[in-house]
Amino acid sequence: MSSLDAIDRQLLAILQSDVSLSIEELAERVGLTKTPCWRRIQKLEKSGIIRRKVALLDAEVLGLPVSVFAQVKANQHSAEWADSFAHTMADLPEVVECYRLAGDYDYILRIVVSDVAAYDQFYKKLIAHAGIADVASTFAMEQIKSTTELPIPTGE
């Protein structure tokens, strides 16, 4: 990360907020011409700092207004089981985030569904996965903050 200069950091901040800007607009905002700006973006992509460019969708408009956070406790902890669980979660479109944890629970999932009945159907699929000892579900009442923008280190 130390190889990022102020212009790279500026580009990353701008791209996180609006990836649809043209190279010309980006270059103008950071004080470069098109070609050097494009080369910097290519370098950031090649280095893996920029993983991909996506459209962010509105779950509520799509009819998926319910976010559920499910804490999962496993009764198995082999590498094979963990791989199987990870692949299963990756294949379930309702799971938009999945983290392995240290602590009382082994995983936390963020699940988006249309309503409680849809979550109940999802829950039945989830507990059918062998090796799950417990699932504690919490329904979000209000989203206070949601962002995909990471804080860009200053390089100091």
Q: Give the count of domains, the chain.
A: 2
Does 90 reside within a domain?
yes
Does 27 reside within a domain?
yes
Contact 68, 137 (CB under 8 A): yes
Does 32 reside within a domain?
yes
pLDDT exceeds 80 at position 9: yes
What span, in angstroms and rounded, lies between the C-alpha atoms of 11 and 17? 10
Contact 140, 69 (CB under 8 A): yes
CATH number of the domain bearing residue 16: 1.10.10.10
Q: If you ran DSSP here, which 8-state letter would residue 137 be given?
A: E
Q: Which domain holds residue 23?
A: 6-46
Q: Which residue has the tokens 């799971």?
A: 95
**At residue 84, what is the residue type?**
S
**Residue range 56-74: average pLDDT?**
97
CATH number of the domain bearing residue 114: 3.30.70.920
Contact 73, 105 (CB under 8 A): yes
Confidence of residue 25 (pLDDT cuts 50, 70, 90): very high
**Same-domain pairing of 81 and 125:** yes
**At residue 37, what is the residue type?**
C
**Same-domain pairing of 39 and 72:** no
Of the candidates 93, 92, 76, the one whose C-alpha atom is nearest the C-alpha of residue 132 is 76
Bridge partners of 138?
69
Token pair for 104 = 């009382």
pLDDT, one tens digit per residue, over 66-97 is 999 999 999 999 999 999 999 999 999 999 99
CB atoms closer than 10 angstroms to residue 21:
14
pLDDT, one tens digit per residue, over 136-153 is 999 999 999 999 999 999
**Same-domain pairing of 133 and 89:** yes
> What is residue 2's predicted lDDT score, i.e. its pLDDT?
55
Element (H, E) at 67: strand 66-74
Does 61 reside within a domain?
no
What span, in angstroms and rounded, lies between the C-alpha atoms of 143 and 153? 26
**Same-domain pairing of 92 and 132:** yes
